Amino acid sequence: MKKAILLFLLFLVSCQGRQMNLSDLEYSDQCPHLCWMGINPGVTPWEDAIEFLNRSSQIDQKWLQISDESICADWPAGVQKDLPSTIGMTSEDGLVKTISLGPLPFTMSDFFELLGEPDQIIMWVDRGPEYENIIYHVYYLTQKILIGVRDMDWNGPEPTDPIEGLYLNYGIDDMGIPPEFGQFQSWLGFGHLHEYLPGVEVPFEKNPIGP
């Protein structure tokens, strides 16, 4: 589980399906960590979740993988026809412990309207042979909800940023983010790139007038 969040963002497979809407996620006193399709992390029995997924027409059954400790499935959430949302679940003491979903056809502003502003943020630069962009995660301490975003514009967090990963009922020590990626810090609002990531050098093509 220590690298589950980082690996999850890379685990995507193909299928087709319906359009997801925000009502598939419930936030209430009964669902303090968000419920997905009625499955409540920390509350729903593991066997009930298995039964629901096995009979659900909204799950791509040919990709459904179930074990005693984890579930992985494709959810045709309408992000793209060839890029469904991937669902991951873990179990503990006979209950659903965590739920992870992504990518999602929502933006940061959608979740701010649903949950309010987060408490913390962590941000780092992700570099590869042919790309260089920013990854950031925002975290809600009380709700134990993490939201992951890839910022390819180097503007810092923006309301229109698309959601790559949503992680429900994750403790801050469960995330497995390597220490070299930095530490969580207080949320200051949108923008604030250089406060969240001091000393970052913005690529010229992203900001030709300089940081």
Q: Count H helices and E strands in the chain, helices first.
A: 4, 13
Q: Tens digit of pLDDT for each residue in 55-96?
A: 988 888 888 999 999 999 988 754 444 567 899 999 999 999
- The answer to whether the CB of 35 falls within 8 A of the CB of 208 is no
> What pLDDT does residue 15 have?
28
165-168 and 145-151 beta bridge pairing: antiparallel
Q: What does each C-alpha distance from 5 to 46, 152, 176, 178 come to in angstroms?
A: 21, 19, 7, 11
Alpha carbons 165 and 176: distance in angstroms, whole number: 15
Q: Tens digit of pLDDT for each residue in 89-138?
A: 999 999 999 999 999 889 999 999 999 999 999 999 988 887 888 999 99
- The answer to whether the CB of 187 falls within 8 A of the CB of 119 is yes
Q: How many CB atoms lie within 10 A of CB 127?
A: 9
pTM as predicted: 0.83
> What pLDDT does residue 1 have?
47
Q: Tens digit of pLDDT for each residue in 20-47?
A: 567 789 999 999 999 999 999 999 999 9
Judged against a pLDDT cut of 50, whether residue 165 lies above it is answered with yes
Alpha carbons 68 and 56: distance in angstroms, whole number: 19
